[in-house]
Structure 1
């Protein structure tokens, strides 16, 4: 894992935290304090339609300041590229904590549901609809707090007390409320429906349907009340099913409001001790326990990361350091043609690349994922075995000059699914790290488990 000198004492890590419609997100780490922030890099030369959409996203995101919403810190614009600085969530996406076909412990799901509803309530009070609530857009920080992210599809539905209906059909199909596919719709019930799908996914590890169209068989059974023996509903207890039924009411006016959801019996029930970290303890399968050991390895010997609590417009987190990052950014020209420049000053500063190999000391700079494991062989053998396994499973794949493998396939309903595989040398051990690039998180995890099983001969036993 390489780190590039970014500006002053800030390093930009080569590992990608995530990808969006218009670019990628990388990690910035302060060389001395180890403060961390995420940097979304948008290449306007590649995405011609990005500027208008990014401006809208930044405008909305900069208005927000809430514990359950990823913080926006600032932006740096160039003629063809720009950089958006965001809060770093070391726990990764919510779907990483959902075991396919199993889900997660009820206490953990309840905690995350409370966080999600709390953040969404704040958004709606601001008159903003998210319109793409799903586990891939819900991040977990180092304290196990859920944070809503990605405001690329967000919009204002209420201004100066006047509410308007929305008419844009946007979002992710399995999470879309049925009214979105039919006509104009109210923002708040549509967002709440998406929360209901997330609720079911957290408790069962699967999605109830691929879409809410009239010809979808699974959704049709739900509408006709002939679903009780079908999965995922058969996995839910009576109280959880009652809550799901009332959130996923086809009639928006009869759907529970946020205030009513938090008062539901399931939301108030005590499930015992709730895990307050981003480690998925309490899973009831052997696979989840093995994933737990990976999380424990990542956090072992780790110093506590300072909490990022910068709010808008008051700076409360090392204002001199962050101010240096955002206001004094100089030009950086590198072999990979990454260029930072001042919007006013034209002076160029060449900064040197530095390599930062993965060790136990800096392993915590990687986002925590349950989709990685060690192997009992060297890097060359691991790469050869991985690629031959991908061939045997009929996955399309390519490999770049840095050794990152990009895998392309389709999920169970023929939607595109792309994920990246990095092979990292950590203190002499090879770690194979899988990261979702595009598609459904739960479908990605199913592919990961299948690949891990196929690679069983080289997977480290401990």
Structure 2
């Protein structure tokens, strides 16, 4: 595949051309990127050196990234290479196109037991393999379970989700992290926990959600939620088989010392049905790039430069590769189909209006909703003034040119609560009715209804 020359407003890091933002967290941002030499699509996790390394965690982070690079497993996202500039660390990861596993539940409802078991087996394979190499996830949740184009489960962010890692002299982890609904009681308790046992609890919650279509522990009040988790106060729905119920109860045991282990799960009759152990070959992997960027002698020849191509006065043009990357698998149809009611952490709509008009309309719609708006060319950052369930709601918006007269607008939650984002988006879209374009024969009616909104 021939590589495309960098368009205006593009950023190059080494041999990679950076594209749209796929997600962001406290310490890191993940961007879609293309290797301009090979045309391969990748995801690049960009860490802020100052934020992450100021606690003298270089040695620990180097070990974590080295271990991740050595992990070659069919159910774990691959870490290709590591680069650094003076201010940032770039972790180049495998990019998968099948979307999140939980998108299947959002669109089709709960999975049949056999299908749920197939994904659970792949999840346990990944978790077991990483644990055997001393790597714990600590934040297993729906967003970290991806599917490749063939529907194979890939766990992302293994060992990278909670950098820097903090073990104390007791050999236990002491950082409370993760999404409350998926977190083990001992993690919330803040008395130190075993990373392997805590990961397994999260796997149990994930299995429950796959088969039930809803969470085992769900409360709008955080303290009420914690109480339920501490007591493992949940009920399996009647459609779960007896053996599945038994296994889930053994995984969701609030006492980590009596909780079932992965070794015991691998011998469980329900788990073993149709089980295929993973087959893969170990490859020779070089850690030269990791050593080079963490060489504290700070050899500047090992550093890459983030080079900004000349900025244009128009939005960044989205090429075909990126367009495909926004879609589930390679089905471009889902990009422009009407899918109301499925707004998650990220959503998109298309518009035939000029980019400047779109920016103005979003600003006009967001300000009365209590959001502070910051503009940077064709990107907007919206910061909620009120504190919500998980702090201030913050939204990132970017406009891409798909064709000369067609723009795609991406609206993404970058902080705060997903349900609050859902509510915000419903209110925002009411103010954007006249700029949204819908494909197909009903373009006009769709625009008037504010459809053409696509869930990611």
Do they superpose with TM above 0.5?
A: yes
Q: 1:336: which partner in 2?
A: none
Please state how far the C-alpha of 1:72 moved relative to its aligned partner: 1.8
Are residues 415 and 156 of structure 1, via their aligned partners in 2, closer, same or farther at CA, if it must alter by over 3 Å? closer
Are residues 43 and 250 of structure 1, via their aligned partners in 2, closer, same or farther at CA, if it must alter by over 3 Å? closer
Deviations 1:374-427 (A, max 9, x none): 3454134443443333344x3424233222222334796344443322222212
Gaps of 5+ in 2: 1-6, 275-279, 329-334, 336-343, 439-445, 447-451
Please state how far the C-alpha of 1:186 moved relative to its aligned partner: 2.7
2:70 is paired with a residue of what secondary structure?
coil
Please state how far the C-alpha of 1:446 moved relative to its aligned partner: 6.2
Are residues 353 and 443 of structure 1, via their aligned partners in 2, closer, same or farther at CA, if it must alter by over 3 Å? same
Q: How far apart, CA to CA, are the structure 1 residues paired with 2:304 and 2:195?
A: 46
Please state how far the C-alpha of 1:116 moved relative to its aligned partner: 1.7
Q: How far apart, CA to CA, are the structure 2 residues paired with 1:227 and 1:169?
A: 26
Is 1:16 the counterpart of 2:21? The answer is yes
Aligned ranges 1:189-228 → 2 under 5 Å = 189-202=197-210, 203-206=212-215, 208-209=217-218, 216-221=223-228, 227-228=234-235
Q: 1:185: which partner in 2?
A: 193
48, 51, 54: which one aligns with 1:49: 54
Is 1:438 the counterpart of 2:409? The answer is no
Q: Is the 8 A contact 1:204 1:235 kept in 2?
A: no
Q: 1:30: which partner in 2?
A: 35
Are residues 190 and 430 of structure 1, via their aligned partners in 2, closer, same or farther at CA, if it must alter by over 3 Å? same
Aligned ranges 1:115-134 → 2 under 5 Å = 115-134=122-141
253, 257, 261: which one aligns with 1:249: 253
Please state how far the C-alpha of 1:108 moved relative to its aligned partner: 5.7
Q: How far apart, CA to CA, are the structure 2 residues paired with 1:31 and 1:395?
A: 42
Please state how far the C-alpha of 1:88 moved relative to its aligned partner: 1.9
Q: How far apart, CA to CA, are the structure 1 residues paired with 2:372 and 2:282?
A: 42
Q: 1:90: which partner in 2?
A: 97
Is 1:418 the counterpart of 2:394? The answer is yes
Is 1:401 the counterpart of 2:361? The answer is no
Aligned length: 392
Are residues 14 and 131 of structure 1, via their aligned partners in 2, closer, same or farther at CA, if it must alter by over 3 Å? same
Deviations 1:83-119 (A, max 9, x none): 2222223345555555399666766644433322111
Q: Is the 8 A contact 2:12 2:307 kept in 1?
A: no
Q: 2:87: which partner in 1?
A: 80
Q: How far apart, CA to CA, are the structure 2 residues paired with 1:30 and 1:77?
A: 16
Structure 2-normalised TM-score?
Answer: 0.68
Structure 1 vs Structure 2 CA RMSD? 4.6
Deviations 1:112-171 (A, max 9, x none): 3332211101012223322221223333333333322332337699xxxxx975141322
